[in-house]
């Protein structure tokens, strides 16, 4: 399987309201087809890296909820239609649940303008454009009980209202110090009550104590990985895959977020991947 790290994000693929740039996305999809891969599109709607024009009118004011929904429709319909029958699964909505606090939803501009209707609409438009594509809700720290339950409740509510969500993407931005296998197991069990397909997405395991998908993290240029930490990382990866294999009926895919430490968004000195900077 294959997923593109950045080129399908709205700011890259749809930089202005009437301008789409499919150059890299086309090459990505062609590569996947040529190599007979299961192709995953990432991601149709995300508050972060949202194309700057998206929530504003020409005067620089926020658009109305109606205009925002129309833009979401145009954006999703155009992209999903272009790759209809070729992209097999889409991360439709990314990271709409908050990390903490009383409101389960992330207080993003999308949410402020449309409430959770933006989630329902995004899935509806994607499904209308390609009824056969598998549609995912994707989020990080999806194993932490408080956030996990909020993701669960949101997906449950949506599914009960007929919103076409096929699967949940559990982003795997973990670290070696976090003994999280019980939480991984519990989260999969819980989500499997709602969906038939779970993807472990964006997997990496940092050699320090940060975690999650936030862009603010330590690059630790000075850090050298010790043999002890290497050993720990190996054990954690093995342990994780043991849990995932126990759930192989529902965990249909595991995707690493890059191939080697050299390419990783976390930088070489977090040592997050199976291959080091020399590949």
By CB under 6 A, residue 213 contacts ligand 9MR: yes
Tell me how many degrees the CA angle 236-196-103 measures, rounded to the nearest 5: 75
* Sole residue written with tokens 């999308």: 110
Distance between CA atoms of residues 137 and 123, nearest Å: 9
Beta carbon nearer to ligand 9MR, 69 or 79: 79
By CB under 6 A, residue 215 contacts ligand 9MR: yes
Which residues partner with 105 through β-bridges? 97
Count of CA atoms in the C-beta half-sphere (13 A) of 48:
12
Q: Nearest Cα to 254, choosing from 179, 207, 195, 203?
A: 203
By CB under 6 A, residue 260 contacts ligand 9MR: no
By CB under 6 A, residue 6 contacts ligand 9MR: yes
By CB under 6 A, residue 219 contacts ligand 9MR: no
3-state secondary structure of 200: strand
Least distance CB 44 / ligand 9MR (angstroms):
12
Least distance CB 264 / ligand 9MR (angstroms):
8
- Torsion angle of C-alpha atoms 265, 267, 270, 272, degrees rounded to 10: 50
Name the residue whose CB lies closest to ligand 9MR: 213
Contact 272, 244 (CB under 8 A): no
Question: Interface with ligand 9MR by CB under 6 A: which range of 5-13, 15-23, 142-150, 237-245?
Answer: 5-13
By CB under 6 A, residue 265 contacts ligand 9MR: yes
Asked if 95 is an active-site residue, the reply is yes
Asked if 117 is an active-site residue, the reply is no
The residues annotated as belonging to the active site are 95, 202
- Under the rule (CB under 6 A), what is the footprint of ligand 9MR? 5-6, 9, 49, 94, 140, 171, 202, 213, 215, 265
């Amino acid at each position: 399987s294959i997923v593109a790290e950045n080129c399908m994000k709205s700011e890259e693929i749809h930089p202005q309201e009437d301008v789409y740039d499919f150059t890299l996305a086309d090459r990505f999809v062609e590569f996947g087809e040529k190599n007979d891969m299961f192709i995953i599109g990432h991601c149709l709607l995300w508050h972060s890296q949202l194309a700057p024009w998206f929530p504003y009118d020409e005067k620089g004011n926020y658009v109305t909820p109606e205009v925002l929904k129309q833009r979401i429709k145009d954006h999703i319909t155009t992209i999903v239609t272009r790759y209809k029958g070729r992209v097999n699964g889409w991360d439709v909505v990314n990271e709409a649940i908050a990390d903490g606090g009383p409101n389960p939803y992330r207080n993003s501009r999308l949410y402020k303008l449309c409430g959770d209707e933006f989630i329902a609409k995004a899935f509806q438009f994607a499904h209308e454009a390609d009824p056969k594509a598998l549609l995912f809700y994707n989020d990080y720290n999806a194993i932490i009980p408080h956030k996990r339950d909020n993701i669960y409740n949101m997906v449950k509510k949506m599914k009960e209202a007929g919103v076409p969500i096929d699967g949940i993407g559990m982003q795997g931005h973990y670290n070696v110090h976090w003994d999280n296998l019980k939480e991984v197991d519990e989260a999969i069990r819980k989500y499997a009550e709602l969906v038939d397909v779970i993807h472990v997405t964006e997997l990496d395991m940092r050699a320090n104590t940060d975690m999650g998908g936030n862009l603010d993290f330590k690059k630790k240029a000075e850090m050298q990985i010790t043999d002890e930490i290497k050993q720990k990382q190996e054990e954690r990866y093995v342990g994780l895959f043991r849990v995932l294999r126990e759930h192989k009926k529902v965990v249909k895919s595991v995707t690493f977020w890059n191939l080697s430490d050299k390419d990783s968004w976390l930088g070489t000195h977090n040592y997050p991947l199976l291959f080091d900077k020399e590949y």
